[in-house]
């Protein structure tokens, strides 16, 4: 028995090593950022989206061509010489020139600017409306919840395009009108989502304790309920932006969205369809860019969902 015990060596305990922190302390936000940037696909899409955003800001500024100014001299020269290749991509005009002599390089990046503007602002406005209404319905419940949900059901039953057309007829065509129209009709999903989360959270112990202490409902909602629903709110907003961009492109394609001389990717695609057989690049270029933007936003949303999910924390 004594011989068997000698086969083992007592290592001992290093107190300095045992007291070392194996992992640095991180806040929830820092941990979410770390996990998001460890997602290679989401990180690449994030960088790509930043690059497209910077191009939309600086490309029209540093270009010598005006996105809305017609170049009649260029078209007249092309007609006289019969050299319609002047409308194709070249060293001077990287994306070519449209039928009015406007440089498509500048117009494309202006289209990206307006599309991102409409998408982001619409998502923020509709998200804010949905959060407020969802919190009211979920927290107060009862008849308030029933009335709000029946209104949402009625609005969901009517195609949003009808509301958008009516609003744009009243307000007129333009960037502000399309933002208002899309924001007014796209808050329903956020309201349902937030309401469901509030119904789960309002019976938690910390909320009941706040009620027992006489905390006003508005303070409970702002301090306790909304912060605990931020994960799903952020993910839903990241998904709402590409949806708003696609809706704006669809409306501009139909001719009821952003009007000339302002432009958007939807309007460029609409113009490119008419010249698809002769100048296919006028359709292909904006179609590829809007597809890349929507794909990037979708993958970023997936990355945020994974980063905000505590079950996936390592």
Residue 223 pLDDT level (bands cut at 50, 70, 90): confident
Residue 9 pLDDT level (bands cut at 50, 70, 90): low
148-167 residue pLDDT tens: 999 888 888 888 778 888 88
Q: Is residue 180 part of a domain?
A: yes
Tell whether the model's pLDDT for residue 310 goes beyond 80.
Answer: no
Tell whether the model's pLDDT for residue 313 goes beyond 90.
Answer: no
Q: Is residue 59 part of a domain?
A: yes
Question: What is the distance between the terminal CA atoms of the chain, rounded to a whole angstrom?
Answer: 44
Q: Is residue 127 part of a domain?
A: yes
| Among 119, 118, 95, 111, CA closest to 56 | 111
Q: Is residue 4 part of a domain?
A: no
Q: Work out how many domains the chain is built from and give that number.
A: 1
Least confident of 27-31, 281-285, 287-291: 27-31
Bridge partners of residue 103, in order along the sequence? 97
Q: What is the mean pLDDT of residues 116-123?
A: 90
Please give the mean pLDDT across all residues of the chain: 81
48-96 residue pLDDT tens: 999 999 998 988 888 777 776 666 666 666 666 555 556 777 787 788 7
Residue 131 pLDDT level (bands cut at 50, 70, 90): very high
Specify the higher pLDDT residue, 3 or 298.
298
| Among 209, 201, 205, 192, CA closest to 227 | 201
Tell whether the model's pLDDT for residue 47 goes beyond 90.
Answer: yes
> Residue 34: CB partners within 8 Å, gap ≥ 6?
26
Q: Is residue 81 part of a domain?
A: no
In this structure, are residues 234 and 190 in contact, taking their beta carbons and an 8 Å threshold?
no
Q: What is the pLDDT of residue 44?
A: 92
Q: Is residue 278 part of a domain?
A: yes
Range of the domain at 292: 28-70+103-312
Q: For residue 234, what is the domain's CATH number?
A: 1.10.3720.10
Q: What is the pLDDT of residue 28?
A: 67
Q: What is the pLDDT of residue 139?
A: 87
Q: What is the pLDDT of residue 121?
A: 92
In this structure, are residues 304 and 237 in contact, taking their beta carbons and an 8 Å threshold?
no
Residues above pLDDT 70, as percent of the chain: 83
Q: Is residue 178 part of a domain?
A: yes
Alpha-carbon gap, residue 216 to 167, rounded angstroms:
37
Q: Is residue 142 part of a domain?
A: yes
Q: What is the pLDDT of residue 238?
A: 83
């Amino acid at each position: 028995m004594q011989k068997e015990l000698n086969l083992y060596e007592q290592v001992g305990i290093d107190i300095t090593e045992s007291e070392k922190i194996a992992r640095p302390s991180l806040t929830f936000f820092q941990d979410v950022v770390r996990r998001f940037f460890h997602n290679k696909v989401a990180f690449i899409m994030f960088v790509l989206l930043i690059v497209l955003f910077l191009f939309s800001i600086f490309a029209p500024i540093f270009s010598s061509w005006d996105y809305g100014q017609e170049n009649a001299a260029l078209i007249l020269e092309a007609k006289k010489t019969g050299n319609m290749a002047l409308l194709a991509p070249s060293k001077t005009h990287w994306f070519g020139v449209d039928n009015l002599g406007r440089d498509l390089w500048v117009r494309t990046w202006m289209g990206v600017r307006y599309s991102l503007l409409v998408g982001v602002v619409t998502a923020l406005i509709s998200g804010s409306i949905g959060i407020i209404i969802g919190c009211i319905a979920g927290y107060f419940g009862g008849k308030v919840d029933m009335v709000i949900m029946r209104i949402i059901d009625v609005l969901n039953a009517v195609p949003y395009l009808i509301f958008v057309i009516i609003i744009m007829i009243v307000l007129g065509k333009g960037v502000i009108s399309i933002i208002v129209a899309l924001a007014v009709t796209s808050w329903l999903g956020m309201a349902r989502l937030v309401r469901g989360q509030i119904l789960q959270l309002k019976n938690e112990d910390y909320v009941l304790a706040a009620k027992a202490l006489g905390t006003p409902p508005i303070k409970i909602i702002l301090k306790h309920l909304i912060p605990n629903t931020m994960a799903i709110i952020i993910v839903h907003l990241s998904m709402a932006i590409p949806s708003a961009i696609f809706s704006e492109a669809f409306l501009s394609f139909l001719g009821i969205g952003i009007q000339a001389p302002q432009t958007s990717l939807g309007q460029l695609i609409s113009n490119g369809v008419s010249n698809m057989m002769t100048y296919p690049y006028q359709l292909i270029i904006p179609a590829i860019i809007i597809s890349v933007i929507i794909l990037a936003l979708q993958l970023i949303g997936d990355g945020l969902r994974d980063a905000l999910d505590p079950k996936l924390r390592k």
